[in-house]
Structure formats: structure tokens, C-alpha cells
Amino acid sequence: MVQIYGISPNGGPITQISFNQFPVVGPLNISPDDKYIAYIADHSVFITDIQTHKSERLTPRDDTKTSPFGAAIWSNDGKSIAFNRKTEQEGKQNIQIFLLTKNE
């Protein structure tokens, strides 16, 4: 199962960062303060604390064709995350960008 691992560019042991019961799908992004990793998994947007390995689901699980996809991208200040979802209006599918704010 695909999880997130880290290794120092200076060498050393490989460290598992995420321990989810489901795979990470798509790209991941590190927050500007280097504390969290944002990614898509289990039809939701997640963040995982790099030090504690605690993962948090930020969006409801959506196993329909409208679930998040692609990359979850941090804002420059690290307070918001943008992600893509497919939406349907008047029978036509669109791709929209959604923005959520991370609670401190």
C-alpha cells in the first residue's frame, strides 16, 4: 500500500511518515513551515504531521465521481489548501478548484 516515507538528503534511515489504512493517491506537498504534508487519499484531502505522524481528514469522504483528485496545494502562508474536484451542472461535468482553511 502506498504511504509517505522520508529520508534525509544527507543519508540516514528511511522513516515512514503516514500510517493510513488506505493508499495515498497522487502528488503530495509539504507545508511552508515544513510541519505537514498535504495529499489526496481515501476520496478526501488529508494532512499528516511530519513529526507525530498523525493524519487528519480535512474533507468528507466522497466516493462518487466528485471526490478530490490531483494534488492538494498549500497557500504561501500555510493556512489554506487548494484542491480540484469534478462537479456537475446541468448535466455537464466541470473541474473546479476548492479552497479550505486549516484550523490551528
Residue 62 is assigned to a structural domain of this protein: yes
Give the pLDDT confidence score for residue 26 in this predicted structure: 86
Residue 10 is assigned to a structural domain of this protein: no
Residue 3 is assigned to a structural domain of this protein: no
Residue 81 is assigned to a structural domain of this protein: yes
Residue 9 is assigned to a structural domain of this protein: no
Q: How confident is the model at residue 82 (pLDDT cuts 50, 70, 90)?
A: very high
Task: Judge whether residue 72 has pLDDT over 90.
Answer: yes
| Residues 19-71 pLDDT 10s | 999 999 989 999 999 999 999 999 999 999 999 999 999 999 987 788 899 99
Q: Mention every residue, 6+ apart, whose C-beta is less than 8 A from residue 57.
A: 42, 44, 45, 46
* Domain housing 85: 24-101
Residue 16 is assigned to a structural domain of this protein: no
Residue 74 is assigned to a structural domain of this protein: yes
Residue 93 is assigned to a structural domain of this protein: yes
- Cα dihedral sign for 87, 1, 6, 50? positive
Q: Mention every residue, 6+ apart, whose C-beta is less than 8 A from residue 14.
A: 5, 6, 7
DSSP run (H or E) holding 48: strand 44-49
Quick one: average pLDDT of 80-96? Answer: 88
Structural domains of the chain, count: 1
CA angle 50, 59, 46 (to 5 degrees): 20
DSSP 3-state of 94: strand
Give the pLDDT confidence score for residue 93 in this predicted structure: 83
